[in-house]
Copies of this chain bind each other. A is one copy, B any other.
Amino acid sequence: MENRKEDRKSQIIDLTLHLIQEKGYVAFSYDDLAKKLGVTKASIHYHFEKKEDLGIAVCNRLEQQLKDMFYTMTHTYVDLEKKLHFYVTKKAERIKENEICLISALQKDYESLPAHLQEKLASLSRMELTYMIDLFQEAKAKGLLKETVDPVAVAAIFLSCVKGALQYKRVMGNDLAPKMFNQLKDLLLQSQ
C-alpha cells in the first residue's frame, strides 16, 4: 500500500521536527531518529538518503503548517482583532508547551546548513513575515491600529517578541510572555 510508506516518512519528519526544536539541525542525528523509532540508521537513510533531504522535507512540512495556520486564521474569523488574537493565543499555547519556534531553531544553525536548506529557510522566514505584514496592513486599513503604526515594523516587532518570549520563558518563567503580549496589545491597538 502506498500510505504505509508515507506514514513512516511522515513519522520521521514529525520526530525530526521535535529533535530540531530540542537540539537544532546540527546536533540531531540519524541515530537519534533510529533509536526513537526502534529501527536501524540505514532504514532512515532509505527514506531520506541525505540529511539535507530530510531537512528539506521538514521545511516543506513547516511551510504547509504556516500556510494552514494563516488560512485558518484569515478564514475562520471576520473580525480582524479576533484574527490577531487567534495568532497570539495560538503561539502563546506553544510557549506553554515549551515549543520553541521551529523557524528560529533552524535559523540558529544557518551557517552550518547546506546552501539549498539556507535558501528554503530564508524564504520560509520571509513568508512568515510577509503574512504578518499583510495582517497588520489590513488591520490598520480598518482603523484597528494606532495612526503611528507601521505594519512592516510592527510585524517584525511582533514576531521577534514571539521568538524572544520562547527563549526568555526558560530563564524567566511563565509570567513574562503574557506580560509582553498584553503590553504589545496596549501599545498597538486603538483605544476607544
Count this chain's copies in the assembly: 2
From known contacts A22-B111, A108-B108, infer whether A184 and B164 are also in contact, taking CB-CB under 8 Å: no
Number of interface residues of A (CB under 8 A): 45
In A26-70, the 8 Å CB interface with B consists of: 26-27
A157-B171 contact in complex given A24-B109, A164-B164, A188-B187, C-beta closer than 8 Å: no
Q: Which of B112, B160, B180 contacts A164 (CB 8 A)?
A: B160
Known: A27-B112, A148-B187, A150-B179. A160 touches B170 (CB 8 A): no
Which residues of A come within 8 Å of B, CB atoms? 22-24, 26-27, 104-105, 107-112, 122, 125-126, 129, 148-150, 152-154, 156-157, 159-161, 163-165, 167-168, 170-172, 176, 179-180, 182-184, 186-188
